[in-house]
Amino acid sequence: MHKLGKCFLAGLAAVALIPIAGASQEEQKPTTTSVPVSAAPAGVSDSLPPMEDPATVDQIKDYLRLSGEIDSFRASWIAAVDKNRSIGAPYWPESFWTAIKEEMQKTDLMPMYIVFYQHGISRGLMHEVLDAYQRLGADHFRGSPECFKLGDAVSLMSADWERIKLAKTRETISRVYAVYKPQMKAARARYLAEHPGWVDK
């Protein structure tokens, strides 16, 4: 990928894991459903195998629905595009940036969250978390022992989260770049002709 650059990808991927939010009103029923490995970001799922007795897919989906975590992450992920535009080349068209954000908006983030949570959150802990949401509601859950237990477990996986997030960012941007590559190659040639001596970052 010509000069998309590690700096751009790393900057775009540097969005923090969003804090827990949401509330539950339903009884949680554990299942043993697993996520297809191929649905996770390329090259990540093999290096993040599920722990013994991981949180189930249904538990994780319930948690993400109640907390609103995916929606919050997606908003921050997309906002990071504009924050990191200065890292990109000056000849990249405006439509490229718009297309990246549109691709991020429609990208299915559930598989990467399932891989992440099954790697370090047990079925028992997620049951406690969902039960606390049901008993306390979202506002009171945030100061609960269950919230702190989940936060401690997630913090131990912060490096894993950065890897999976960067992989998903690269995968998403690569899909857009594949479409824009001919246009950007031509734009680069024009820019170099008009700006002698300019070099890519």
> What sign results for the dihedral spanned by CA atoms 61, 63, 65, 71?
negative
pTM exceeds 0.85: no
- Residues paired with 54 in a beta bridge: 122
CA distances from 62 to 10, 25, 56, 150, 165 (A): 30, 11, 10, 15, 21
- Higher per-residue confidence, 150 vs 36: 150
3-state secondary structure at position 22: coil
Task: Write down the pLDDT at residue 17.
Answer: 32
98-146: pLDDT as tens digits: 999 999 999 999 999 999 999 999 999 999 999 999 999 888 888 899 9
Give the domain ranges of the chain: 6-15+49-85+101-194
Rounded CA-CA distance 88/3 in Å is: 8
* DSSP designation for 108: -
pLDDT recorded at residue 38:
36
Could you give the angle at the alpha carbon of 19 between the alpha carbons of 14 and 25, nearest 5°?
A: 145
3-state secondary structure of 109: coil
Q: pLDDT tens, 80-90?
A: 999 988 888 89
Q: What's the mean per-residue pLDDT of the chain?
A: 82
Report the pLDDT value the prediction gives residue 123, as an integer from 0 to 100.
98
Given a cut of 70, is residue 156 above it in pLDDT?
yes
